[in-house]
């Protein structure tokens, strides 16, 4: 944090107390209170940051529901940013499920009803032609990471329109808490192009424009203006695409990935986390990645993204591309994806194999006998008892990833996965589950959440000022993440490191990502002698700075 604040141009008095980036509340010293016109505006007792944390936690723990805790923490973030990040960073395992999945899902659904103060930039379809002006209203110019959504596919909850801002805000909070990205460099953006959600269209408290979604050429022109305006207003930021609908997500990534520094977390971040989980799972089940047969339930952004990265990893380890693709099979809402189907989108065709059509997931499991199943369909309960018992029937240690978010959308619970396989499943989920005791042994479920990858990737890209973000970076991130899983973690059934280690893990991932950028000639900053040490030196630490 040192050096962030321009001490020659500080606001004073009430204005200072109302600036969340500068406000220290009761932690202002006697000298600061005199110098900055704060005398009398604060209670007389000076509190340390640790004492303020105690007060926050006492109030946090009194809240009766997770949504109330979310509202409380959101209020803290817009009142005292440094204190917010101190609490979240030090207690991430407790705070992450509140400020992000699963609670952020409910928060987005009710965003207009719990709305207090605006965060980020809202650009609606009515603002076409003046997006650069809107972005210029943001008070900070050194924006380096933008998380942008159009709200059409929020988590597994569908079209939430402008309410999707909750996800953009949450993701950027995790960039800071998990990877030490300075919050002053972060900007959440919601592109409000309307919504097709009937409930929102009829909700008098909805915060977005109440009209049907913009589609086709008009939508593309809107996105193009936004991307152009971003580059005009800010000095080449990283743009993370978040929760766009499948069709738009794939083509927007393809259109912009070589033009600007951008990635889609639902496609690439999810892939990195899932691949890391597979590497760790194979340390438990045995075997090589190239020998696995993986069956996906869901063929959207997450599923195809995971499949593509697994294929890249297999090719990197010696398989030909076609052979690698035959290791990945997909079932969508209409059944097994095979060549005889005539209803497939372009991004699914590479995984349409020669096989008889099968109408459902269970029949595909029984026919293909996969070593791993990965759920990314956002439909709860799809990994049924019959499916899991079948997996346990032909695998000693079946790999079961129920990755859909939030928790209510998971394909199965941790308890179901362990119970129905008699404790033999190697399990991971997208949102957290409590430990499960089966057959006298307690298992700690792995949380295959993107938080393990995207903050570290972003940190690495910023550290070297990479021009572009490549799939190779996510492959490097997956391998680095898997390497951070200890034998003790595996013994407990955990295939990801504890969230308490996430800042250390993110720094390691960032170093590997920067290494890829330097090796490929797409880094624009000089290469430091020790990349990891340099990255750690740049990480934001939420501590108060002296103003006098």
**Which CATH number is 229's domain given?**
3.40.50.10380
Q: How far apart are CA 301 and CA 379, in angstroms?
A: 15
Enumerate the β-bridge partners of residue 400. 373, 427
Are residues 191 and 277 located together in one domain of the fold?
no
Task: Report the half-sphere exposure of 195 (CA within 13 A, side-chain side).
Answer: 27
Are residues 241 and 322 located together in one domain of the fold?
no
Query: Is residue 475 in a domain?
Result: no
| Rg of the Cα atoms in the chain | 24
Query: Is residue 199 in a domain?
Result: yes
Per-residue b or e along 150-174, where b marks 16 or more CB atoms closer than 10 Å to that residue's CB:
bbbbbbbbbbbbbbbbbbbbbbbbb
359: tokens are: 């109408």
Residue 3 has pLDDT above 70, yes or no: no
**Strand 436-438 to 441-443 pairing:** antiparallel
Band of residue 302 on the pLDDT scale cut at 50, 70, 90: very high
Are residues 316 and 437 located together in one domain of the fold?
yes
Query: Is residue 462 in a domain?
Result: no
Are residues 73 and 174 located together in one domain of the fold?
no
Are residues 315 and 352 located together in one domain of the fold?
yes
pLDDT at res. 235 = 86
The fraction of the chain above a pLDDT of 70, given in percent, is: 99
Q: How far apart are CA 114 and CA 125, in angstroms?
A: 24
pLDDT at res. 345 = 84
State which of 96, 128, 143 marks the end of a domain.
96
Residue 171 annotated to the active site: yes
Are residues 64 and 139 located together in one domain of the fold?
no
What's the CATH code of the domain at 61? 1.20.1370.30
Are residues 209 and 313 located together in one domain of the fold?
no
Are residues 312 and 436 located together in one domain of the fold?
yes
Q: How far apart are CA 474 and CA 323, in angstroms?
A: 21
What's the CATH code of the domain at 398? 3.40.50.720
230: tokens are: 């971003």
Are residues 212 and 284 located together in one domain of the fold?
no
Residue 388 has pLDDT above 60, yes or no: yes
| pLDDT tens, residue by residue, 439-469 | 899 999 989 999 999 999 999 999 999 999 9
Query: Is residue 234 in a domain?
Result: yes
Mean pLDDT of 374-390: 97
Are residues 298 and 429 located together in one domain of the fold?
yes
Query: Is residue 27 in a domain?
Result: yes
State which of 68, 96, 124 marks the end of a domain.
96
Mean pLDDT of 474-503: 96
Q: How far apart are CA 240 and CA 174, in angstroms?
A: 13
Query: Is residue 502 in a domain?
Result: no
Mean pLDDT of the chain: 96
Are residues 58 and 131 located together in one domain of the fold?
no
Q: How far apart are CA 66 and CA 104, in angstroms?
A: 9
476: tokens are: 């490097």
Give me the number of domains the chain comprises.
Answer: 3
CB 440 within 8 A of CB 419: no
| pLDDT tens, residue by residue, 62-75 | 999 999 999 999 99
Mean pLDDT of 34-53: 97
Enumerate the β-bridge partners of residue 427. 400
Mean pLDDT of 100-110: 95
Mean pLDDT of 205-230: 97
Least confident among 43-52, 339-348, 396-405: 339-348
Band of residue 1 on the pLDDT scale cut at 50, 70, 90: very low
Whether the full predicted model's pTM is greater than 0.85, yes or no, is yes
Are residues 138 and 217 located together in one domain of the fold?
yes
Query: Is residue 522 in a domain?
Result: no
Mean pLDDT of 11-21: 96
Residue 2 has pLDDT above 70, yes or no: no
Mean pLDDT of 92-120: 95
Residue 100 annotated to the active site: yes
Band of residue 4 on the pLDDT scale cut at 50, 70, 90: low
Its domain, for residue 180, covers 100-260
Q: How far apart are CA 256 and CA 119, in angstroms?
A: 26
CB 365 within 8 A of CB 373: yes
CA 71 to mean position of chain CA atoms: 20
Residue 35 has pLDDT above 80, yes or no: yes
pLDDT at res. 139 = 92
Query: Is residue 441 in a domain?
Result: yes
Q: Which residue among the candidates 24, 171, 348, 536 is catalytic per the annotation?
A: 171
Mean pLDDT of 404-410: 91
Mean pLDDT of 407-416: 95
State which of 260, 278, 307 marks the end of a domain.
260
Mean pLDDT of 240-256: 96
């Amino acid at each position: 944090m040192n050096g962030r604040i321009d001490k020659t141009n500080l606001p004073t008095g009430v204005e200072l107390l109302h600036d969340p980036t500068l406000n220290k509340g009761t932690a202002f010293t006697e000298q600061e209170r005199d110098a900055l016109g704060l005398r009398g505006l604060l209670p007389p007792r000076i509190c340390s940051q640790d004492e303020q944390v105690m007060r926050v936690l006492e109030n946090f723990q009194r809240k009766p529901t997770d949504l109330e805790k979310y509202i409380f923490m959101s209020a803290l973030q817009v009142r005292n940013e440094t204190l917010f990040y101190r609490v979240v960073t030090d207690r991430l395992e407790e705070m992450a499920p509140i400020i992000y999945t699963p609670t952020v899902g409910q928060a987005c659904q009710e965003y207009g009803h719990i709305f207090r103060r605006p965060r980020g930039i809202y650009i609606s379809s009515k603002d076409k032609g003046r997006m650069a002006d809107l972005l210029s209203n943001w008070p900070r110019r050194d924006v380096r990471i933008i998380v942008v959504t159009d709200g059409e596919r929020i988590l597994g909850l569908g079209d939430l329109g402008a309410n999707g801002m909750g996800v953009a805000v949450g993701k950027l909070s995790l960039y800071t808490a998990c990877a030490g990205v300075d919050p002053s460099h972060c900007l959440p953006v919601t592109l409000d192009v309307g919504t097709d959600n009937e409930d929102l269209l009829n909700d008098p408290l909805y915060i977005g424009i109440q009209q049907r979604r913009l589609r086709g050429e008009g939508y593309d022109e809107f996105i193009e203006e936004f991307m152009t305006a971003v580059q005009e207003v800010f000095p080449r930021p990283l743009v993370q695409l978040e929760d766009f609908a499948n069709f738009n997500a794939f083509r927007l990534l393809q259109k912009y990935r070589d033009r600007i520094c951008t990635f889609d977390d639902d496609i690439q971040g999810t892939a990195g986390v899932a691949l890391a989980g597979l590497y760790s799972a194979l340390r438990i089940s045995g075997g090589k990645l190239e020998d696995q047969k993986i069956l996906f339930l869901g063929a959207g952004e997450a599923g195809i993204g995971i499949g593509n990265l697994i294929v890249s990893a297999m090719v990197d380890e010696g398989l030909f591309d076609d052979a690698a693709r035959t290791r990945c099979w997909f079932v969508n809402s209409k059944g097994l994806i095979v060549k005889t189907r005539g209803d497939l989108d372009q991004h699914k065709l590479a995984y349409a194999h020669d096989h008889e059509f099968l109408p459902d997931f269970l029949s595909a499991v029984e026919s293909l006998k996969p070593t791993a199943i990965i759920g990314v369909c956002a439909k709860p309960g799809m990994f049924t008892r019959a499916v899991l018992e079948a997996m346990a029937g032909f695998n000693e240690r079946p790999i079961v990833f129920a990755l859909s978010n939030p928790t209510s959308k998971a394909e199965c619970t941790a308890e179901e996965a362990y119970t129905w396989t008699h404790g033999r499943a190697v399990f991971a989920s997208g949102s957290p589950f409590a430990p499960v005791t089966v057959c006298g042994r307690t298992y700690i479920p792995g949380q295959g959440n993107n938080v393990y990858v995207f903050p570290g990737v972003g940190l690495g890209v910023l550290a070297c000022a990479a021009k572009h973000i490549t799939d190779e970076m996510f492959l490097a991130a997956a391998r680095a993440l898997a390497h951070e899983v200890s034998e003790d973690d595996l013994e407990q059934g955990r295939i990801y490191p504890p969230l308490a280690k996430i800042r250390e893990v993110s720094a390691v991932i960032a170093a590997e990502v920067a290494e890829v950028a330097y090796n490929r000639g797409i880094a624009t900053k000089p290469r430091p002698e020790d990349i990891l040490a340099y990255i750690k030196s740049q990480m934001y630490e939420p501590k108060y700075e002296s103003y006098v």
